[in-house]
Structures are given as structure tokens and as C-alpha cells.
């Protein structure tokens, strides 16, 4: 089972790891590098990023994007950092993990047109904006569903998750060193998803693995 987005590996056979700072990834893990929008005031070392992408053809780009969760306005610096990393992802034809808390429409508008040099996008923690699903599909985008699905009050989130095409769904824990002890497993998320989508769990797990492979395919 693939955990399609985490920062710390644990408990699954494959992790899509964004900027892991601890524990070396296992053989099946796929790593993504990039400057998170929350850290965009730090230096963006494009020379180092380019060198690392050039040295490792399996490396993806992420998590990168825009954010309105911490501050209401998106700073010019945040946009600039996002745009510069998208240029690199296009240059190296790498899959991209996107962050767009409370501003998914703006994230999509900020993508280069056409975005076809970037093979695929992972809309990690995507919520609220079901009107964007056709654009996400057109971009070869995938939506990774997280532990919020297990929240009894997640009525709107469940409604959104029902609308995502089944071949575009992934599951994620968003595990970090801070939340590692408390975070549910992606199998818990998949089990809930199987009820929600009325698909038997074994069939859903096979589909999710095929989707994870398709996201990486170039
Ligand atoms: Zn994350």
C-alpha cells in the first residue's frame, strides 16, 4: 500500500516522501524535493535543486505551491518561489506534489500554460473546491485523500471525495515527526474510502496502487 504523501516514512510498503529530513527511505520510497510555501522566506537554492534533479532521475518536485492557511494574502515571494520550482519540474519532466490550502483555484491558475511538460500533479490535501475537478483531470492530476476522511463531521469532504474519478484517487497520511504517534494509517483511510465509494476494499487497494504507479509514470 502506498502512502502518497508524508514527510516521515512508517508502516507502509511505499512512501512518497516530501523533504524527508530523518530516517533514510526504504528501497521502494519515492522522494520529492522542493521549498514548501510555508518556508518560502528561506533561500531557494535553484542551483542545488537543479543539481539534485539532474543527479537522480527518480526524484520528483514537491511539496510546492501556495497557501492561505497561515496568512490571508499570498505574498509575491511565495508566488515567485512556486513559479521558479515549476520551471525546474518542467525542465526535468518530473511529477509535482502540490500544496494549495484554501487557494486551490489560484494554484491551478499559477501553473504554466500548457503544463504538459510536467507529467503529473498530486493535489495533496485537496478539499473544498470540487468545481476544479475537471481541470485537475485535464492536467493529469491526482487527488490524495487524507485522515480527515475519518472525521465524523467531514460531511463536505466526504461529498467531494465521492466526486473524484476513481482512477485519480490516492491515499495519504501526511505523517510528520510531530504527528507520527497519532496519525491513522492509509489503510484506515482506504477502508473508509471503500465504504464511501461502495467499492470492495481489495479492489480499491488494487486501483489505488495502479493510480500511484500512473502518477509516477512518464
Ligand atoms: Zn505535507
Where are the domains positioned within the chain?
Answer: 2-216
For residue 115, what pLDDT is reported? 77
Distance 5 CA to ligand 1 centre (A): 6
The three-class DSSP label of residue 112 is coil
Q: Which residue has the higher pLDDT, 28 or 125?
A: 125
Mean pLDDT, the chain, rounded, equals 93
Distance 65 CA to ligand 1 centre (A): 11
Between CA 98 and CA 161 the distance in angstroms is 18
Question: Once rounded to an integer, what is the mean pLDDT over residues 82-91?
Answer: 97
For residue 18, what pLDDT is reported? 92
Distance 175 CA to ligand 1 centre (A): 7
Extended strands (E) in 46-135: 60-65, 96-99, 121-124
Distance 144 CA to ligand 1 centre (A): 11
Which residue is listed with cell 484517487? 169
Between CA 116 and CA 125 the distance in angstroms is 23
Query: C-alpha distances in angstroms, 104 versus 9, 66, 171, 176, 189?
Result: 26, 8, 18, 22, 22
> Crossing angle for the helix pair 186-197 and 155-163, nearest 10 degrees?
70
Distance 115 CA to ligand 1 centre (A): 23
pLDDT tens, 169-200? 999 999 998 998 899 999 999 999 999 999 99
Would you give the DSSP letter of residue 113?
S
Between CA 161 and CA 69 the distance in angstroms is 21
Residue 218's pLDDT band (boundaries 50, 70, 90)? Answer: confident
**Parallel, antiparallel, or unpaired: how do β-strands 141-145 and 30-33 relate?**
unpaired
For residue 194, what pLDDT is reported? 97
Q: C-alpha cell of 199?
A: 467499492
For residue 24, what pLDDT is reported? 60
Q: C-alpha cell of 129?
A: 473546491
Residue 123's pLDDT band (boundaries 50, 70, 90)? Answer: very high
Distance 134 CA to ligand 1 centre (A): 24
For residue 77, what pLDDT is reported? 97
Distance 203 CA to ligand 1 centre (A): 27
Among 1.10.760.10, 3.40.640.10, 3.20.20.140, 3.40.190.80, what is the CATH number of 2-216? 3.20.20.140
**pLDDT greater than 70 at residue 105:** yes
Rounded to two decimals, what is the model's pTM? 0.95
Contacts of 114 (CB under 8 A, 6+ apart): none
Amino acid at each position: 500500500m502506498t502512502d502518497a504523501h508524508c514527510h516521515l516514512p512508517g508502516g507502509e510498503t511505499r512512501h512518497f516522501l516530501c523533504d524527508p529530513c530523518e530516517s533514510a527511505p526504504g528501497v521502494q520510497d519515492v522522494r520529492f524535493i522542493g521549498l514548501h510555501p510555508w518556508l518560502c522566506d528561506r533561500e531557494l537554492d535553484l542551483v542545488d535543486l537543479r543539481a539534485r534533479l539532474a543527479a537522480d532521475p527518480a526524484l520528483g518536485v514537491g511539496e510546492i505551491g501556495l497557501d492561505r492557511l497561515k496568512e490571508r494574502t499570498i505574498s509575491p515571494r511565495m508566488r515567485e518561489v512556486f513559479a521558479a520550482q515549476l520551471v525546474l519540474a518542467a525542465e526535468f519532466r518530473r511529477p509535482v506534489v502540490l500544496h494549495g490550502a484554501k487557494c486551490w483555484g489560484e494554484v491551478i491558475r499559477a501553473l504554466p500554460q500548457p503544463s504538459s511538460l510536467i507529467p503529473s500533479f498530486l493535489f495533496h490535501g485537496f478539499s473544498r473546491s470540487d468545481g476544479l475537478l475537471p481541470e485537475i483531470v485535464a492536467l493529469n492530476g491526482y487527488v490524495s485523500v487524507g485522515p480527515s476522511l475519518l472525521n465524523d463531521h467531514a460531511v463536505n469532504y466526504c461529498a467531494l471525495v465521492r466526486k473524484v474519478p476513481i482512477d485519480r484517487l490516492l491515499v495519504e497520511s501526511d505523517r510528520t515527526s510531530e504527528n507520527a504517534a497519532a496519525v491513522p494509517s492509509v489503510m484506515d483511510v482506504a477502508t473508509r474510502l471503500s465504504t464511501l465509494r461502495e467499492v470492495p476494499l481489495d479492489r480499491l487497494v488494487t486501483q489505488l496502487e495502479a493510480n500511484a504507479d500512473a502518477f509516477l509514470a512518464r
